[in-house]
Amino acid sequence: MILPFSEPCQWWVRKGVLLPALLCLLLASPLRQVLAQAPDTLNTFVQAVQSQNWTEAGTLAEPLLDEFEGTPRFDYYYALLLIETGRTQEAIFTLERVLAFYPQQQRARLELARAYFINNNLHRSRVEFDRVLSEDPPQNVRANIEQFLARIDAAEHSTRTQFQLYAGLDFGWNTNINNGSTLSGELAPNLLGLNRISDASRAQESYFGRVRLGGQWVQPTSLTNAWVYSLQAQSLIYPEADDFNQNDLAARVQHLHRSDRTRYQAALNSSYSWIDGDPWQLSLGLNGQWQASVWQRLWAGPAAQAQWGWAQGGNRSDTFGTRLGTVLTLEENSRQHEGRLVYAQQSIEGNDNGHLEWDGVGTQYQLAWQWPNRINTTFRFQYDWRTYRGDDLLFVVSEGSQERKRREDQFLSAETAINWPVQRWLSSRTSLKYEWLNSNINAYSREQWVFSQSLTVLF
């Protein structure tokens, strides 16, 4: 039973423990008189805490400390204020002082268990919650405790090193495997006088299959930090276009941090790829983002990315790209919204000659929605505006002109996916993606649809 502060002696009397009962009866009446004579500021402070007006409560608490610190009523509500303001270690000491007077005051014990949980002392938190459960609390209190105990189980599990192997099979249809032009009309004016796009430059479509094999090792360093190491090999096969078959070996090292006030992640990615059996490119990438809680469930902070690519043969070009922006995340019940404003990005391919280098701005949005039966849906949208630094080598501003044209592109991408964990060892993902690039030089305009079905088996 959860006893109020005004009835502490009843428990000792019912238990037949005479000496504590006698002392309690002798002290209870003077204590009630002291509390009854408490000034209005103490009652106002209690009301401020009960209404969760933490700013007012903090202002009122300071002048009350000298007179009322050490009295159970003040200590209990002051501990709630300490928890709310992040001073959990002080709250623990204050609540333990309350329980020294009233060991059966289960409301105080519940708050003590919560303070231990926030302070990452999971063992003591579990002990205090179990003590309350042993007193057969009301059903709503029991349900709340069981939720906390489940979170403790999850937190303890998250501190264990985890290693997971997986194998995956993907299949689907791609309408533009070579990022070719989808122009159907007459070619823009150019120095060679060409009227139509060549067949080799047109989009090629094909169904595809992909085999994946990989592993992931998660090494937590605390309740809020972890290192994640992953390695994956994959083979992408186009039965109708063997020249585009691709093999990749990719590795990733990532550091994650997640607390009640800040989140960040930083990752180093590397990969080596072969196309049609020939070495193609060595890639290296760095990316990171940092967010702080700015309002209730809204998080905001900067994000940055850099990517290098080194050609591995032939007349291919090296590449380099960067992105810098701001990321906003809003969490509500079963949905998570993430928006990115990219206010500086660039891409360089080949030599520093301008016509393959562009600068741009963009925006991204992602919605993750958790449904019953552990089904998760995601929707992603991206829009970029890109301006090239140099004039194009082939296309001119008008027919008969020798003035070369400066290229500008608009890029749009949208993707939706359904993720379904069929069993603990088997997951399914179905996705549909659309890309559209519109250029002021129509030869570069293109469209692409990709449908994919993936199955992943965990070992």
Question: What pLDDT digit, counting tens, does each position of 177-208 carry?
Answer: 999 999 988 999 999 989 999 888 999 999 99
* Rounded CA separation 62/401 (Å): 80
Q: Write down the pLDDT at residue 353.
A: 59
Band (pLDDT 50/70/90 cuts) for residue 118 is confident
Residue the block writes with tokens 């502060």: 5
Question: Rounded to two decimals, what is the model's pTM?
Answer: 0.70
Please, where in the chain does CATH 1.25.40.10 lie? Answer: 8-157
Tell me, which fold does domain 161-458 have in CATH? Porin (2.40.160)
Q: What is the DSSP string of 256-270?
A: EEE-SSEEEEEEEEE
Q: Which two tokens stand for residue 432?
A: 């549909």
Whole-angstrom CA distances from 281 to 105, 246, 274, 313, 317 are 67, 11, 7, 8, 9
Q: Which residue has the higher pLDDT, 127 or 317?
A: 127
Please, where in the chain does CATH 2.40.160.40 lie? Answer: 161-458
Residue among 406, 391, 459, 426 nearest 166 (CA): 459
Tell me, which fold does domain 8-157 have in CATH? 1.25.40
Q: Which two tokens stand for residue 174?
A: 């791609």
Residue the block writes with tokens 């579990």: 126
Name the average pLDDT for the chain. Answer: 87
Q: Which residues of 154-193 are buried (b: 16+ CB within 10 A; e: fewer)?
A: ebeeeeeeeeeebebebebebbbbbebbbbeeebbbbeee
* Rounded CA separation 111/49 (Å): 14
Whole-angstrom CA distances from 198 to 181, 188, 304, 447 are 9, 13, 38, 17
Give the mean pLDDT of 52-59: 89
Band (pLDDT 50/70/90 cuts) for residue 34 is very low
Q: Is pLDDT of 37 > 80?
A: no
* Rounded CA separation 42/81 (Å): 14
* Rounded CA separation 44/397 (Å): 76
* Rounded CA separation 208/218 (Å): 32
* Rounded CA separation 78/255 (Å): 37
Report which DSSP code applies to 442: G
Give the mean pLDDT of 18-47: 58
Alpha-carbon dihedral sign for residues 180, 181, 182, 186: negative
Kindly tell me the burial class for residue 351, based on how many C-beta atoms sit within 10 Å of its own C-beta (0-12, 13-18, 19 or more): exposed
